[in-house]
Amino acid sequence: MAPTLESHQEKHSLVPTEAVPAQIEMPTRSRVTVVGSGNWGSVAAKLIASNTLKLESFHDEVRMWVFEEVLPCGQKLSEVINQTNENVKYLPGIKLGQNVLAVPDLENAVRDATMLVFVTPHQFMEGICRRLVGKISQNAQAISLIKGMEVKKEGPCMISTLIQEQLGINCCVLMGANIANEIAVEKFSEATVGYRDNKEIAETWVQLFNTNYFMVSAVQDVEGVELCGTLKNVVAIAAGFVDGLEMGNNTKAAIMRIGLREMKAFSKLLFSSVKDSTFFESCGVADLITTCLGGRNRKCADAFARNGGKRSFDELEAEMLQGQKLQGVSTAKEVHEVLSHRGWLELFPLFTTVHEICSGRLPPSAIVEYSEHAPKLSLLGGSAQIY
Amino acid sequence: MAPTLESHQEKHSLVPTEAVPAQIEMPTRSRVTVVGSGNWGSVAAKLIASNTLKLESFHDEVRMWVFEEVLPCGQKLSEVINQTNENVKYLPGIKLGQNVLAVPDLENAVRDATMLVFVTPHQFMEGICRRLVGKISQNAQAISLIKGMEVKKEGPCMISTLIQEQLGINCCVLMGANIANEIAVEKFSEATVGYRDNKEIAETWVQLFNTNYFMVSAVQDVEGVELCGTLKNVVAIAAGFVDGLEMGNNTKAAIMRIGLREMKAFSKLLFSSVKDSTFFESCGVADLITTCLGGRNRKCADAFARNGGKRSFDELEAEMLQGQKLQGVSTAKEVHEVLSHRGWLELFPLFTTVHEICSGRLPPSAIVEYSEHAPKLSLLGGSAQIY
C-alpha cells in the first residue's frame, strides 16, 4: 500500500508521553521533502527513505515533488509512482521505498517540511524559488544537489546562494562522483556535503544520505564543493577532445590534472574561503574522474573532435543525448565571460581554450597546445599560490 | 654518423678565449649520462639530447649506459644503438638524437659526468651504486626516474636516499604521468621534479627535460614526489579489482580517490615534510589516473578479480606481461609490513585490503566493502589532518 499525506506510520506511538517531564519539549521530528523526481532525484529519495525509517529524528515519510506528466499509458506519473513505488519514467526497475510519497503539487509537497532537498535541472530553480517564497517554514533547512550555476559577468550565482537568498533559509550542497543509476543498484560510491558554518546541520544531512554503499562526508566549504560540481563539466569537454584526437591516457591525465588545477584556482579567486583540501574530496577529484571517463560532456566532445569541429555541439547533442542537455559547453562560455570580464583569461589557458574550441575559433587539437599558452602566473603577483 | 666519446661536436669553438678576463672562470659545461637504456631510459635520453643541443650550459653529447646484450642478429645492443641511433630492442622506431652515445661499460659511461640520470629497474640500483662508489665526480648531481622503493620494517628506503647515501651526491627525482611510448612520439605530457633544498639544481633538471610536449615543473618535496611514483601502483591494483568486478566508473573513481588520500596520509606520516600540494602535481593525481586507466598493475588485478582470485598474481604476471614485472603487489606487501610494524593498519583500509586480497585472505569483492572498515582516525589523535 502506498503511503498518503495523511496516514503515514508513526514511530513509537506507544511511548507514554507522561514519561517526559513537562519542561523538556519533545524534539520535533524532521520532515523531508525532495523537490525533483528525475533520475538523481529519485535515487536521492530512495537513499533518504531508507534512512528515515531507521532514524528516530525523522518522520518516516519522504515526500517527492513530481513535475506532473501524463505517461503514454494515459496515467499520471505521480500516480504510477505511488502505485508501483517506482519512478517508471526516470528510474525504472528500482523500488524507492514504501515511505516515499509522490506529490504533484509543489505547495503540498513542501508543506511542513523542515528539510528540503533540491534536485531539479538548474534552469528551473529560479522559477521554483519564486513559487516557494512564503510557502515554506522559516526554520526549514535546504540542501542543493543541483550541478550548474547562473553565471553573470560579476561572477557566478551559485544555486545554494539563490535558494538561500530567495527563500531566506540556510542551504548546504551535496556533490560527488554520483552516477545515479550506479547508486540506484547500490554500487559503492561517495559524496561530499558542503556547509557554510553550521556543522550540526551538515551532520544531519550526512545522516540522512549516508548508507553502507554511499559514504558521505562534510566539509566546511559550500562554494568549493558547489563549484567542483559545475566546473568539472568544462574539464570533461577537454578530456573528450583528447579522446577524440586519440592522444592516449597520458595526455588525458595531464589535461585532467591541469583542469583540476584551474578548477581550484578559479574557485579560490572567486571565493577566498575555498579550501585546497576540498578538491581531494569526492566532489573534487573523484567526480572529475567519473565525469572524464564516462559522462555526456566527454562523449559529445569526443565526437566533436573526431569530426574536426565541423559538426556543432548543438547538432551532436540533439543526435547523441536524446533530449538531455550538455552543461559543459554553456558552463565554458559562462566561465569565459567571468574570466574575460575580470582580465583573468591568461591565467586559465585550459578553460579559455575549451571555450575557443567549442565556439569554433580554435581547432580541437589546440587543447594539447597548452604549453604555448601556459598560465601567466606573474599576473597574480603575490597570490600565485592559488595554483 | 654516430658520435664517439672523443669526437663530439663542440659549440662555439670559434669564440676567442682571450676575450674572457683571466679572473673569471669559464663556466664548465655540464656533461649528462643516463644510467639505464630501457624503454623509459631511452625516452629520457631522447628528451635530454634534444635539449643539450640547444642549451649553452651542457655538452651536446649524452652518454647512455647500456646493460649489454647480444641481439638475435648476433650484434651487440650498444653497437646497434650507435649505428642506427635507435634502441631497436626497447624503443624501436624512435630516433634518439645523433648526440646520444650508447656506452656498454658503466665506468666509462659515468666518467666526467656532472649530471647523472638514473633510470634502471629499481632492484638493480643497490648493485649499480656499489659499482659506482668512488667512480663519479664529487660535484656530480643525480636524479632518479626510478619508481619503486626498498621497504624495510623501519620504513621505506627511497631510491633517491640510496643514491645520495651510497654515492655521497645530491639526488632529485622526476616522476609523473609518463607512459614512455606516448612521450616518445611526442604526445603532450607533464612531469614533476622533486628536490630537497637546492632550487637552482632543480631548475637545471627542469631545463634538461622540459620540451614543448613534455612540461616539467619542480616542487620542493623529494619524498612526496618519489612516494607518489611507488604508491600509485597499489591503488592501481585496487582500481583493477573494481574493473574486474564490473563495478563501474563511479566506484572506480571513489576507490582512486580513497587511494590518493591514503598515498597522501602514508607519505605524510613517514615524512612530515611532505606537502599536500604535491598530490595535485603530475606525479600525484595525473600519474594515478594514467596508471589506473591503463598500466600493467590495473590489467593483472582486473584478470585476478575476474577469476575470483583463483589464479595467483604470479601466474597472471607470467601469462600477461611477457617478462615485465608487477610492482603493485610487492609494494602492497611492503607497505603492509610498514603499517603492521607501526600499528597503522586501521588507518589505511584500502592499502591493507589490497594486500589481503593479493595474498588470498580476502576475496576481490572486499575492495568495495571499504565502509565496513573506514579509517580509525581517532588513532591519530591530533594529527588527523594528514587525511
What is the interface pTM, i.e. ipTM, of the complex? 0.89
Q: What's the pLDDT score for residue B3? A: 45
Q: For B268-300, what is each residue's pLDDT tens digit? A: 999 999 999 999 999 999 999 999 998 899 999
The 8-class DSSP code of residue A176 comes to S
Q: Are B333 and B346 in contact (CB under 8 A)?
A: no
Q: What's the pLDDT score for residue B138? A: 85
Please give, rounded to a whole number of angstroms, the shortest distance from the CA of A103 to a CA of chain B.
Answer: 30
Q: What's the pLDDT score for residue A369? A: 85
A299 touches chain B (CB under 8 A): no
> Which residues of A are marked as active site?
232
Q: What's the pLDDT score for residue A23? A: 52
Q: What's the pLDDT score for residue A3? A: 45
* Residue B232 is a catalytic residue: yes
> Is there a binding annotation on residue B67?
yes
Confidence of residue A18 (pLDDT cuts 50, 70, 90): very low
**Closest Cα in chain B to A248:** B182
Using a CB-CB cut-off of 8 Å, the residues of chain A touching B253 are: 177, 285-287, 289-290, 293
Helix axes A327-342, A222-244, angle to 10 degrees: 110
Give me the sheet containing B115-118, strands edge to edge: B100-103, B58-65, B30-35, B115-118, B141-144, B171-175, B189-194, B214-219
Q: What's the pLDDT score for residue B377? A: 61
Give me the sheet containing A58-65, strands edge to edge: A100-103, A58-65, A30-35, A115-118, A141-144, A171-175, A189-194, A214-219
Helix (H, G, I), strand (E, B) or coil at A61: strand
More confident residue, B271 or B149: B271
What does B266-291 look like in DSSP terms, one character per residue? HHHHH-TT--GGGGGSIIIIIHHHHH
Q: What's the pLDDT score for residue B152? A: 72
What does A20-49 look like in DSSP terms, one character per residue? S-TTSPPPPPEEEEEE--SHHHHHHHHHHH
Asked whether residue A123 carries a pLDDT value surpassing 60, the answer given is: yes
Q: What's the pLDDT score for residue B379? A: 60
Helix (H, G, I), strand (E, B) or coil at A342: helix
Q: What's the pLDDT score for residue B7? A: 43
Please give, rounded to a whole number of angstroms, the shortest distance from the CA of B112 to a CA of chain A.
Answer: 34
The 8-class DSSP code of residue A92 comes to T
Q: Are A296 and A236 in contact (CB under 8 A)?
A: no
Q: Which phi-psi region, left, alpha or beta, contains residue A358 (left: φ > 0; alpha: ψ -120 to 50)?
A: alpha
Q: For B162-183, what is each residue's pLDDT tens digit? A: 999 999 999 999 999 888 999 9
- The CA distance from A63 to A110, in Å, is 8
Could you give the angle at the alpha carbon of B131 between the alpha carbons of B130 and B132, nearest 5°?
90
The answer to whether B257 contacts A370, with C-beta atoms less than 8 Å apart, is no
Of residues B182, B249, B261, nearest to A280 (C-beta): B261
Of residues A247, A255, A286, nearest to B254 (C-beta): A286
Of residues B261, B279, B286, nearest to A254 (C-beta): B286
More confident residue, B290 or A376: B290
Instruction: Please name the residue ranges forming H helices in A133-248.
Output: 159-167, 180-184, 199-209, 222-244
Q: For B321-347, what is each residue's pLDDT tens digit? A: 877 778 899 999 999 999 999 999 999
The burial class, CB within 10 Å (0-12 / 13-18 / 19+), for B371 is: middle
The answer to whether A249 contacts B178, with C-beta atoms less than 8 Å apart, is no
According to DSSP, the β-strands at A141-144 and A171-175 are parallel
B251 touches chain A (CB under 8 A): yes
- The CA distance from B222 to B172, in Å, is 6
Q: What's the pLDDT score for residue B117? A: 98
Q: For A174-195, what is each residue's pLDDT tens digit? A: 999 888 999 999 999 999 999 9
- A342 grid coordinates: 575580470
Q: For A328-371, what is each residue's pLDDT tens digit? A: 999 999 999 999 999 999 999 999 999 999 999 999 999 988 65
The answer to whether A253 contacts B287, with C-beta atoms less than 8 Å apart, is yes
What does B88-123 look like in DSSP terms, one character per residue? TTTBTT----TTEEEES-HHHHHTT-SEEEE-S-GG
- B33 grid coordinates: 649520462
> Is there a binding annotation on residue A89?
no
- The CA distance from B243 to B230, in Å, is 21
